[in-house]
């Protein structure tokens, strides 16, 4: 409680009354935080462009016990991503990430790993805007993993045997992964290529994953998109809002 100073990513903002805004951000030290920015809608607001979605900022706010909304005091831009705002696919991807964070991260629950992952993904998207889908898949897999909804991809859940690099596997209805011998042909089959990419996502940075995805086949990109969509739908018990393949034509 009291004054808080933390790094944050602005997720979205809403109008509040005549002159104010409600700002939702993912903070490094306090998870998802909703705050009121007084006077943010005035022409000469002290907030300037700092409340634009996915701006990386230092957030200074006042928190009162028992109140869900905090009061923003100062917001300082650490990094803006104006170039991304001109890329429609990237803008949709960022909106979708905001949606995922709000779905999977409970308010005021610190999750520094989620913050660092989101920050690195925005950075990767700015560096490799042609690999929007790879950045989105990275964000989805890590969001699932951090929330405890990603199955173990290393071994078969039934016989415990470690899966080989070129093996396919089946995801059962109970969300565990089974090798071909144990699968009994129930559930979705995942190709070795998709499994490899999902394991890679867990090992490297989003920028390295985006770069490693250059030149990967359309079918492989589509399959991975379908896999994450189903995993998220099962976790949320409905289709995720804003999910798309995000595969751009020049890939």
Q: Beta partners for 5? A: 60
Determine, following the binding rule CB under 5 A, whether residue 158 of this chain makes contact with Zn ion.
yes
Query: 165: which 2 tokens?
Result: 């690099």
Q: Which of 156, 171, 235, 247 binds Zn ion (CB under 5 A)?
A: 156
Whose Cβ is closer to Zn ion: residue 159's or residue 239's? 159
Stretch that binds Zn ion, among 17-25, 144-152, 157-165, 204-212 (CB under 5 A): 157-165
Q: Which of 182, 200, 212, 220 binds Zn ion (CB under 5 A)?
A: 182
Residue 250 carries which DSSP code?
T
Determine, following the binding rule CB under 5 A, whether residue 147 of this chain makes contact with Zn ion.
no
Determine, following the binding rule CB under 5 A, whether residue 157 of this chain makes contact with Zn ion.
no
d(CA 224, CA 245): 9
Determine, following the binding rule CB under 5 A, whether residue 159 of this chain makes contact with Zn ion.
yes
Residue 107 · residue 33 · CB < 8 Å: yes
CA count, 13 A, side-chain hemisphere, 140 = 30
Residue 92 · residue 246 · CB < 8 Å: yes
Whose Cβ is closer to Zn ion: residue 95's or residue 167's? 167
Distance of closest approach, residue 77 Cβ to Zn ion, in angstroms:
51
Q: 31-37 and 69-79: which strand pairing? A: parallel
**Interacting residues toward Zn ion by CB under 5 A:** 156, 158-159, 179, 182
């Amino acid at each position: 409680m009291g004054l808080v100073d933390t790094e944050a990513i602005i997720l979205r903002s809403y109008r509040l009354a005549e002159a104010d805004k409600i700002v939702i951000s993912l903070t490094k030290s306090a998870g998802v935080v909703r705050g009121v920015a007084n006077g943010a809608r005035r022409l000469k607001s002290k907030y300037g462009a700092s409340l634009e979605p996915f701006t990386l900022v230092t957030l200074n706010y006042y928190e009162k016990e028992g109140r869900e909304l905090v009061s923003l005091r100062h917001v300082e831009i650490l990094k803006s991503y104006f170039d991304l705002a001109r890329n429609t696919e990237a803008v949709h991807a960022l909106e979708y990430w905001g949606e995922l964070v709000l779905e999977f991260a409970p308010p005021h629950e610190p999750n520094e790993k989620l913050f660092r992952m989101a920050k690195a993904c925005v950075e990767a998207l700015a560096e490799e805007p042609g690999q929007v889908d790879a950045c989105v898949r990275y964000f989805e897999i890590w969001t699932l993993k951090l929330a405890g909804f990603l199955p173990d991809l290393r071994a078969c859940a039934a016989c415990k045997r470690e899966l080989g690099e070129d093996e396919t596997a089946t995801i059962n209805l109970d969300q565990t992964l089974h090798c071909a011998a144990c699968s009994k042909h129930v559930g979705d089959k995942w190709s070795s290529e998709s499994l490899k990419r999902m394991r890679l996502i867990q090992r490297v940075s989003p920028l390295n994953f985006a770069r490693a995805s250059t030149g990967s086949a359309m079918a492989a990109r589509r399959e991975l998109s379908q896999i994450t969509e189903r995993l998220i739908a099962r976790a949320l018990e409905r289709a995720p809002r804003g999910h798309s393949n995000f595969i751009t034509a020049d890939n």
